[in-house]
Structure 1
């Protein structure tokens, strides 16, 4: 008989609970002795590991259990995400780019968080736990924002994770991002050297430029194509890796990313309702930040120390906006910062 493992995610209401009590509340009643037997034998796992019944759980952790376990007064319909495995398997197939002996590269879609939180239903870390079942599961070595799409490297083991992390720290990996911004930067290329600090109260915190207390943050940029001074597609290389760095830096030079609801720059930035000269024949354009649901920022490529370059194809939304605006990309994007 094939052993099928079902999966549920620990809800916020069970944060800090003992695993035995949590299982009863979520899945249904079960004899304590049998429950402990299932835990010892690996028929009930927490994040793919055997645990004791007294272990406390955290929001977002995954409980895997055999489909053959019988729970009394089953409550599984209340919290069960029985299709989570299929969802993640299909997602992984769709976003997979390549695999080497050291890493896996994926093309993360906009809206998918890299790591979980109380409000995240799905995230990359969760996906890895679902697909890889042992301690050699791939490990995250860098992050991109939930609303940013594009390339993410995942180390295949601890040794590779340490090596790739060091590459990032020593600036031996060059990451190139693409963004649609409005208005255009005042110069066609440049370096934004502006220290960043988190400010505000819990729940309303933002990263802001602070020259007295902020951490050093450096971003290189180059305009690839533009429409006058109103809208442009640009390439970006963050030499440092601060939270929301690209978004904060572009707002700082008053060239915020289209679709950014948090770092919006000055109000009334753009409003086009005319034919755009020297571009595709587009008429009656009404281009406004409120028309864009997704942040127009894409992690396009990574240039490795061994000269290998990995690319993540632009998503359809980004492509359609480029076409709509009549903006085009050059062929040598990956050579701009190398």
Structure 2
């Protein structure tokens, strides 16, 4: 271990990120507590000036970092990821449907989690070592799909691309189209579901529900593509917001749960006959701006169980292509305030009118 002060020049890939994020990327063994202490005592300097953990850094700046602190003997060793088997590496590479210098798009199969968790051993994040190819760093996830949802999943190949895509998804300029089979047939063929969503109490955050009082804004457009009598139908879904389980909660809320989604549809979500009991929700299309200019616009083929269900119902996959991608811009805080003030003003006008109306008969009697 060296006792010398270290200096680093901020690279273009790290332009605009927080200082604590830089440490997580490049000096992962340095804890946030240590970074905060160094910043508080002035031991970290950026171009000679003091800097805080949450401050943004700029490419070309010189970061002064003190020598690493001694590691406690009893500190737990950082757990290394086990190497992937040949079969796991092949499985990961077979998911790739788009590859360029900045991004990969995977066609995630149903049943594979995006990230690890309790009792979740195999997941996309754990397979990314097989997808480094010629890049210097490990690919990075930028969004998620539910374990039982299949389809297009974007992965960044550089830190710069990860930051760019994160802004794109948080700004809702990324466009996504899902295909789903749902129970019964909506009375309106082409509509919008605008119902706020929140975590359902008592589920530990594992389940969501519609909560018009406390929920976050959630909006989904749906369009019926084909119907099998009144038994079920095939729909296209566009989420204009990105709430957890949004499509599943919204379709169940209007009485048409996604086929195979027992969590939100209960026993009614399962159809008899040749229809698989797996969930029928697929991220069919993804269109997103590219950090080097232009766009990625790609479609992911259906998993076998979904394709077989469509065929058994007599549906043609070509019927679901070419849905226009809609735009949705959520209200800003100022727009919400303006609308609230206008609403309050209208209420005051109505009340004044009511008072005048109540007063007229009295004046007539006094005359």
Q: Write the mapping of 1:323-338 to structure 2, written as runs, cut at 5 A.
A: 323-330=311-318, 333-338=321-326
Matched, 1:148 2:134: no
C-alpha spacing 1:319/1:195, structure 2 compared with 1 (3 Å): same
1:43-94 CA-partner distances (Å, limit 9, x unpaired):
xxxxxxxx99754368xx5445xxxxxxxxxxxxxxxxx7x42232111122
C-alpha spacing 1:206/1:244, structure 2 compared with 1 (3 Å): same
Give the C-alpha shift of residue 232 in structure 1. Answer: 0.7
Q: Aligned residue for 1:102?
A: 102
Q: For the Cα contact (< 8 Å) 1:222–1:235, is it kept in 2?
A: yes
Distance in 1 (alpha carbons) for counterparts of 2:198 and 2:297: 32
1:220-266 CA-partner distances (Å, limit 9, x unpaired):
1111111233211111111111111100000001111101110116x
C-alpha spacing 1:227/1:143, structure 2 compared with 1 (3 Å): same
Where does the alignment leave 5 or more consecutive residues of structure 1 unmatched? 1-50, 65-81, 272-285
Greater Cα offset, 89-98 or 324-333: 324-333
Give the C-alpha shift of residue 118 in structure 1. Answer: 1.9
Q: Aligned residue for 2:364?
A: none
Identify which of 288, 297, 300 aligns with 1:304: 288
Distance in 2 (alpha carbons) for counterparts of 1:56 and 1:202: 32
Where does the alignment leave 5 or more consecutive residues of structure 2 unmatched? 1-70, 327-367
Q: For the Cα contact (< 8 Å) 1:221–1:234, is it kept in 2?
A: yes
Distance in 2 (alpha carbons) for counterparts of 1:327 and 1:136: 43
Distance in 2 (alpha carbons) for counterparts of 1:170 and 1:219: 16
Q: Aligned residue for 1:125?
A: 125
Distance in 1 (alpha carbons) for counterparts of 2:303 and 2:269: 25
Distance in 2 (alpha carbons) for counterparts of 1:232 and 1:188: 10
Q: For the Cα contact (< 8 Å) 2:180–2:282, is it kept in 1?
A: yes
Q: Aligned residue for 1:73?
A: none
C-alpha spacing 1:85/1:226, structure 2 compared with 1 (3 Å): same
Q: Write the mapping of 1:60-209 to structure 2, written as runs, cut at 5 A.
A: 62-64=80-82, 84-129=84-129, 131-132=131-132, 136-202=137-203, 205-209=206-210
Give the C-alpha shift of residue 183 in structure 1. Answer: 1.1
Give the C-alpha shift of residue 294 in structure 1. Answer: 1.2
C-alpha spacing 1:320/1:63, structure 2 compared with 1 (3 Å): closer
Distance in 2 (alpha carbons) for counterparts of 1:197 and 1:167: 23
Give the C-alpha shift of residue 135 in structure 1. Answer: 6.9
Which structure has the bigger radius of gyration?
Answer: 2
Q: For the Cα contact (< 8 Å) 1:194–1:217, is it kept in 2?
A: yes
**TM-score scaled to structure 1, two decimals?**
0.68
Q: Aligned residue for 1:314?
A: 302
**TM-score scaled to structure 2, two decimals?**
0.62
SS at match of 1:263: helix
Give the C-alpha shift of residue 330 in structure 1. Answer: 3.7
Residue-pair matches, total: 251
Q: Aligned residue for 1:280?
A: none
C-alpha spacing 1:90/1:198, structure 2 compared with 1 (3 Å): same
C-alpha spacing 1:308/1:126, structure 2 compared with 1 (3 Å): closer
Instruction: Decide which structure has greater helix share.
Output: 2
SS at match of 2:85: helix
Distance in 2 (alpha carbons) for counterparts of 1:132 and 1:319: 31
